[in-house]
Chains A and B, each alone.
Chain A
Amino acid sequence: MRDKNLNSKLKNNFGAKANDSRIYIFLVIVFVIIAAIYPAFFTSGSIKALVSTSLIYIIVGVGFTYVMIGGNFDLSIGSIINAGAVVTMGEFNRFYKIFGGVEGGDSALIKAWILAFACAIGVGLLIGFVNGFLVAKVKVHSFIVTIGMLTTVAGFVYTYSHGNSISANTYSLVDVIDKSFVKIPYLEVFTPRFVIAIILVVVFEFILLKTKWGYDLFMVGSNKESSFFAGINTVKKVWITFIISGFTAALGGSLFAVSMNAAVPNFGERGIAPLMFVLAATIIGGTAMLGGSGSVVKTAVATIVIQSIFSFLISMGMGFDAQVLAAGVVLGAVVFFESFSVYRQGLKEGERPALVLEAEQLRLKK
Chain B
Amino acid sequence: MSVSREESILIVDDDELNRAILANIFRSAYHIIEAEDGQAGLSDIQAHADSLSAVLLDVVMPKVNGIQVLRQMHLLGLTEKIPVFLITADAGSATMREAYALGVMDVILKPVIPYMVQRRVNSVVELFRARRKLSAEVERQRDQLLIQAQQLAEMGMGMVESLSTAIEFRSDESGEHVRRIHDITCHLLHTTPLGEGLAEDQIKLIGLGAITHDVGKISIPDAILNKPGRLTPEEYELMKTHTIKGAELLSRIPQMREHCAYRYAYDIALHHHERWDGGGYPHHLVGDEIPIWTQIVSLADVYDALVSKRCYKDALAANTAVDMILNGQCGVFNPRLLECFRKTEPVLRRFYQPAKGV
- Does B associate with A? no
Listed in ascending order, the chain A residues whose CB lies under 8 Å from chain B are none
